């Protein structure tokens, strides 16, 4: 069942000098970015570029883009939430400032809960200034394996990188942002650090938007889009078991891959998680491998508390 929250949209409060924004959950990313850009600000966690995405969906998916490696995820920018439980109770948690929350921190719990614990109606967020200079450096033609090694080297140095990804057809991408002099210096240092992997050239910043694929590709045989989150050190072994990836982010911690329709990737033991984000229309629900039993028990307990009648049971994903 679809729930239309478009009526719950609009900016409720925006205080640029306090870096605080409160919006209805149905507000689109496009609407939010327009309001913030007028004040030279942005959502630093850089959610997916689909402009019709709603902030409720972004928060419920904890959707976070390349800048996560520098500033944290969507959940780290969430100051407060208002939501409705499966019992119809309206809950408000957190506030409008980044401080220790008294009582249970339901803001963090709702981030990434994918609609299974409640319907978000309002979200308060921390905003950030748009950096004056943003430079994308590219190792053109780097394979995924080489990219993970190069990105790991870049991320473990003192360069304050705000993006470390790989895109099919482009290569490894690194982003440095800030004041021009600092960006120039860090770019030179990175070129020296990564010289063994190839020559860094200046690339197109628009390519960062491609790091969250919308689907597995065009056409009926494109397959399913999978999202795999792992430790960067696990990425090389996982990449060896998978078809060629569509994109990598977070230095290799996030792998986007197209799988044949209905096929669950055989990943072997690893410490992260995999989920099917997009499937062809009409696809059957998948029986994913069991998650850690302790986590599964905690999930079940939370769902029983917030949604005892199982009203939100089908909310986690349209595909998986």
Ligand X SMILES: Cc1cc2nc3c(=O)[nH]c(=O)nc-3n(C[C@H](O)[C@H](O)[C@H](O)COP(=O)(O)OP(=O)(O)OC[C@H]3O[C@@H](n4cnc5c(N)ncnc54)[C@H](O)[C@@H]3O)c2cc1C
Is the Cβ–Cβ distance between 52 and 76 less than 8 Å?
no
How many amino acids of this chain bind ligand X (CB under 6 A)?
26
**Contact status: 120 vs ligand X (CB under 6 A):** yes
Is the Cβ–Cβ distance between 41 and 128 less than 8 Å?
yes
Enumerate residues 6+ apart whose C-beta is below 8 A from 17.
none
Q: What is the token pair recorded at 261?
A: 């329709």
Closer of 25 and 248 to ligand X (Cβ): 25
CB of 91 to ligand X, least distance (A): 12
For ligand X, the binding residues in 51-90 under the rule CB under 6 A are: 53-54, 56-58, 60-61, 63-65
Helices vs. strands in the chain: H and E counts, helices first: 9, 15
CA angle 270, 271, 274 (to 5 degrees): 80
CA distance 102 to 290: 34
Closer of 120 and 257 to ligand X (Cβ): 120
Is the Cβ–Cβ distance between 63 and 84 less than 8 Å?
no
For ligand X, the binding residues in 224-243 under the rule CB under 6 A are: 227
Residue from 78, 81, 106, 315 binding ligand X (CB under 6 A): 315
Beta-bridge mates of residue 226: 257, 276
Query: Which of 176, 208, 187, 195 has its CA nearest to residue 64?
Result: 208
Query: Which of 154, 140, 151, 149 has its CA nearest to residue 187?
Result: 154
Block residue for tokens 């229309």: 281
Residue from 19, 22, 23, 25 binding ligand X (CB under 6 A): 25
CA distance 205 to 29: 19
**Contact status: 115 vs ligand X (CB under 6 A):** yes
**Contact status: 93 vs ligand X (CB under 6 A):** no
Site string for ligand X, 199-218 (x = CB under 6 A): -------------x------
Contacting range for ligand X; rule: CB under 6 A; set: 113-121, 133-141, 146-154, 164-172:
113-121
How many Cβ atoms sit within 10 Å of the Cβ of residue 40?
Answer: 10
Query: Which of 153, 148, 133 has its CA nearest to residue 249?
Result: 148
What is the rounded radius of gyration, in angstroms, for the C-alpha atoms of the chain?
Answer: 20
**Contact status: 272 vs ligand X (CB under 6 A):** no
**Contact status: 114 vs ligand X (CB under 6 A):** yes
CB of 194 to ligand X, least distance (A): 25
**Contact status: 142 vs ligand X (CB under 6 A):** no
How many Cβ atoms sit within 10 Å of the Cβ of residue 201?
Answer: 12
CB of 276 to ligand X, least distance (A): 8
Closer of 161 and 277 to ligand X (Cβ): 277
CB of 100 to ligand X, least distance (A): 25
Is the Cβ–Cβ distance between 86 and 312 less than 8 Å?
yes
**Contact status: 194 vs ligand X (CB under 6 A):** no
* Position with the least CB separation from ligand X: 57
**Contact status: 48 vs ligand X (CB under 6 A):** yes
Closer of 50 and 193 to ligand X (Cβ): 50
CA distance 287 to 121: 31
Residue from 5, 42, 91, 128 binding ligand X (CB under 6 A): 5
Closer of 114 and 193 to ligand X (Cβ): 114
CB of 197 to ligand X, least distance (A): 25
Which residues form the interface with ligand X (CB under 6 A)? Answer: 5, 25, 47-48, 50, 53-54, 56-58, 60-61, 63-65, 114-115, 119-120, 212, 227, 275, 277, 315-317
């Amino acid at each position: 069942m679809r729930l239309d929250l478009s009526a719950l949209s609009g900016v409720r409060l925006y205080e640029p000098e306090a870096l605080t924004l409160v919006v209805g959950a149905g507000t689109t990313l496009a609407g939010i970015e327009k309001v913030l850009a007028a004040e030279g600000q942005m959502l630093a966690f850089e959610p997916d570029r689909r402009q019709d995405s709603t902030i409720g969906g972004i928060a419920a998916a904890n959707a976070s883009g390349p800048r996560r490696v520098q500033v944290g995820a969507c959940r780290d920018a969430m100051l407060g939430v208002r939501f409705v439980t499966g019992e119809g109770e309206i809950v408000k948690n957190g506030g409008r400032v980044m401080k220790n929350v008294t009582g249970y921190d339901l803001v963090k719990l709702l981030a990434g809960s994918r609609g299974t614990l409640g319907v978000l109606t309002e979200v308060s967020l921390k905003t950030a200034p748009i950096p004056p200079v943003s430079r994308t450096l590219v190792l053109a033609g780097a394979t995924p394996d080489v990219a993970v090694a190069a990105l790991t080297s870049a991320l473990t140095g003192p360069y304050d990188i705000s993006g470390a990804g790989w895109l099919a057809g482009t290569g490894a991408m690194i982003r440095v942002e800030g004041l021009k002099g600092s960006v120039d210096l860090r770019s030179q240092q990175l070129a020296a650090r990564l010289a063994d992997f190839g020559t860094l050239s200046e690339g197109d910043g628009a390519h960062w938007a491609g790091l969250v694929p919308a689907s597995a590709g065009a056409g009926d045989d494109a397959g399913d889009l999978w999202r795999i989150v792992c430790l960067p050190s696990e990425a090389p072994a996982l990449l060896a078991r998978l078809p060629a990836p569509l994109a990598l982010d977070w230095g290799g911690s996030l792998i986007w891959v197209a799988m044949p329709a209905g096929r669950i990737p055989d990943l072997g033991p690893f410490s992260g998680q995999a989920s099917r984000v997009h499937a062809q229309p009409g696809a059957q629900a998948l029986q994913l491998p069991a998650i850690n039993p302790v986590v599964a028990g905690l999930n079940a307990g939370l769902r029983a508390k917030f949604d005892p009648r199982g009203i939100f049971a089908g909310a986690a994903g349209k595909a998986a």
